Structure 1
Amino acid sequence: MAKIEVNGLTLDYALIGDPGAPPLVLTPGGRYARDTAGVPELGARLAEGGFRVLLWDRPGCGASDIAFTAPSESVMNCEALVGLVEALGLRKVTLVGGSAGSRIALMAAARMPEKVRKIAIWWISGGPVGLAGLAWFYCGDQIAAASKGGMEAVAALPSWADQIARNLRIRDILLAQDPDAYIATMQRWGQAFAYSDDSPVPGMTEADFARLTMPVLTFRSGKSDMAHTRATSEWVHRLLPNSTLVEPPWGDQEWNEVSTFPVDPANRRGRFERWPLLAPMLLDWL
């Protein structure tokens, strides 16, 4: 475990693998920590395959700090990744991520294309209903709690329990917010997930995609996946100048099935527990 200050926030991270190996950043989804079941296991496989793997807790995830000054949570996270890569002196990085991690990888790469060697992405969130679900998941319960019980109620939400257990500063940061200002921020952050016919990924424009001329491995989403629609993954593939679209190493119902898995860190269970299945395809392509 290591910590570093980036953009005024203390971020928690770990580097695994040969220090001289090419750097690779692995970013999970949701508000899950870097040690969530499946993430370090995939990281270990990639490290064994010849990479120096950076596992990190995004702002508001795991043991890292959070702030509410960015225009959206995704912008906060992608700018944190850009700053982390700079602070650690990484060059020609490979960015790998799923779900929210895919969005952050794309947004970060658009801000530092000269530093990114390759990208691999899967479970790209999208579609009108899928994105509306993200707005509620990330912001709706926050607004409801703040409107009913102020910041004490927000700090007591289950969505902050893991972060507060790992980093007591999170509770202090939350309690320091003005409830009305916090609600306004959550409204803006929720709006940032709004579906648009102009781009498959909120926070990315067609010009942003055009800047990503490095090779990208895009895993096609399952037809049954309503959170990360197949149409979204195919649209992203079309917008990227140098994308290879491939089928993932699991069946069509994967997301629906893993969404029912228990979150059980002690027994290494959770939504990402099957991510290590990606390792052979990732290493072959990378």
Structure 2
Amino acid sequence: MAKIEVNGLELDYELIGDENAPPLVLTPGGRYPRDTAGVPELGQLLADGGYRVLLWDRPGCGASDIAFTAPSESVMNCEALVGLVQALGLRDIRVVGGSAGSRISLMAAARMPENVRKIAIWWISGGPVGLAGLAWFYCGDQIAAASKGGMEAVVQLPSWAEQIARNPRIRQILLAQDPDAYIDTMQRWGKAFAYSDESPVPGLGEADFARLAMPIMVLRSGKSDMAHTRRTSEWVHELLPNSTMVEPPWGDQEWNYVSTFPIDTANRRGRFERWPLLAPMLLDFLKD
């Protein structure tokens, strides 16, 4: 476990596995920290398979700082990942991630394609309703709280409780925001999730997909998954120059099933707790 400053933010991270092994970045979804059930377990399996695995807390997640100057939360996170990779001197990396982690992985790789060897992604958020849900999940309750009780109400939101507990600076950063400016930022960040017929992934355009010419494995989303629609995964696959579409190691109802799991890091429960099932197929794909 360590901290490093990137783009003015203190980021919390951990590297596991042989320090001479090829580097691999694993990024979870939601605003969940890197120690969320299933994430370090998958990371350890990948490390055991021969990689130096970077686990990290994105800005606003876990013990890392946050800022509100980026055009969107996704841009803030992907630029933080690019900066973190550079700061740690990681070269010729593999990048893997699920849900928000898939979006951040693709966006970051599009900014440093010369340094990314392979990518594997699953649970790609998309679809009109799925993306509208993200806008509310990440920004809607913030706007509602700030409009009713200013930043004092924002820091009381359950969505910030864990981050503030892990990094008390988050509370001070939030309280330092002007409520009206914060609402404007959340409106802008929410708009960044807007569905478009031009791209399946907000924040990625045609030129970005064209730059992602490295081998990429896309796991097909479940037909029943309304948060990460099947069409989104297929559309991403169609736009990538060198993509392989594969079936995941679980059934169609997986997202609906794991969404019922309690979020309980201490007892290793949560939406990502079955991610270790991905290890064999990831290791098979990522090898040279």
TM-score, scaled relative to structure 2? 0.99
Letter in 2 for 1:4: I
1:182 Cα deviation from its structure 2 partner:
0.0
1:206 Cα deviation from its structure 2 partner:
1.0
SS in 2 for 1:26: strand
Query: Where does residue 106 of structure 1 map in the other structure?
Result: 106
1:225 Cα deviation from its structure 2 partner:
0.1
1:55 Cα deviation from its structure 2 partner:
0.0
SS in 1 for 2:244: strand
Query: Where does residue 139 of structure 1 map in the other structure?
Result: 139
Please give the alpha-carbon distance, in whole angstroms, between the structure 1 residues aligned to 2:182 and 2:262.
Answer: 31
1:256 Cα deviation from its structure 2 partner:
0.2
Cα deviation, 1:235-270, whole Å, max 9, x if unaligned, reads 000000000000000000000000000111121000
Cα deviation, 1:160-194, whole Å, max 9, x if unaligned, reads 00000000000000000000000000000000000
Query: Where does residue 124 of structure 1 map in the other structure?
Result: 124
Query: Where does residue 227 of structure 1 map in the other structure?
Result: 227
Query: Where does residue 215 of structure 2 map in the other structure?
Result: 215
Letter in 2 for 1:53: V
Runs of 5+ consecutive residues of structure 2 not aligned to the other structure: none
Query: Where does residue 59 of structure 1 map in the other structure?
Result: 59
Cα deviation, 1:111-132, whole Å, max 9, x if unaligned, reads 0000000000000000000000
SS in 2 for 1:18: coil
1:107 Cα deviation from its structure 2 partner:
0.2
Letter in 2 for 1:217: M
Please give the alpha-carbon distance, in whole angstroms, between the structure 2 residues aligned to 1:223 and 1:110.
Answer: 28
SS in 2 for 1:250: coil
Cα deviation, 1:58-92, whole Å, max 9, x if unaligned, reads 00000000000000000000000000000000001
Runs of 5+ consecutive residues of structure 1 not aligned to the other structure: none
Letter in 1 for 2:174: L
Query: Where does residue 167 of structure 2 map in the other structure?
Result: 167
Q: Does residue 271 in structure 1 map to residue 271 in structure 2?
A: yes
Please give the alpha-carbon distance, in whole angstroms, between the structure 2 residues aligned to 1:59 and 1:249.
Answer: 30
Please give the alpha-carbon distance, in whole angstroms, between the structure 2 residues aligned to 1:283 and 1:36.
Answer: 21
Please give the alpha-carbon distance, in whole angstroms, between the structure 2 residues aligned to 1:283 and 1:249.
Answer: 13
Query: Where does residue 249 of structure 1 map in the other structure?
Result: 249
Please give the alpha-carbon distance, in whole angstroms, between the structure 2 residues aligned to 1:31 and 1:145.
Answer: 18
Please give the alpha-carbon distance, in whole angstroms, between the structure 2 residues aligned to 1:73 and 1:198.
Answer: 20
SS in 2 for 1:114: helix
SS in 2 for 1:136: helix
Query: Where does residue 7 of structure 1 map in the other structure?
Result: 7
SS in 1 for 2:117: strand
1:220 Cα deviation from its structure 2 partner:
0.3
Letter in 1 for 2:18: D
Cα deviation, 1:190-242, whole Å, max 9, x if unaligned, reads 00000000000000001100100000000000000000000000000000000
Percent identity among equivalent residues? 87
Letter in 1 for 2:169: R
Letter in 2 for 1:201: V
1:98 Cα deviation from its structure 2 partner:
0.1
1:137 Cα deviation from its structure 2 partner:
0.2
TM-score, scaled relative to structure 1? 1.00
Please give the alpha-carbon distance, in whole angstroms, between the structure 1 residues aligned to 2:43 and 2:266.
Answer: 18
SS in 2 for 1:244: strand
SS in 2 for 1:85: helix
Please give the alpha-carbon distance, in whole angstroms, between the structure 2 residues aligned to 1:48 and 1:152.
Answer: 45
Letter in 1 for 2:31: R
Letter in 2 for 1:70: A
Please give the alpha-carbon distance, in whole angstroms, between the structure 1 residues aligned to 2:74 and 2:173.
Answer: 19
RMSD: 0.3
Query: Where does residue 36 of structure 2 map in the other structure?
Result: 36
Please give the alpha-carbon distance, in whole angstroms, between the structure 2 residues aligned to 1:146 and 1:266.
Answer: 31
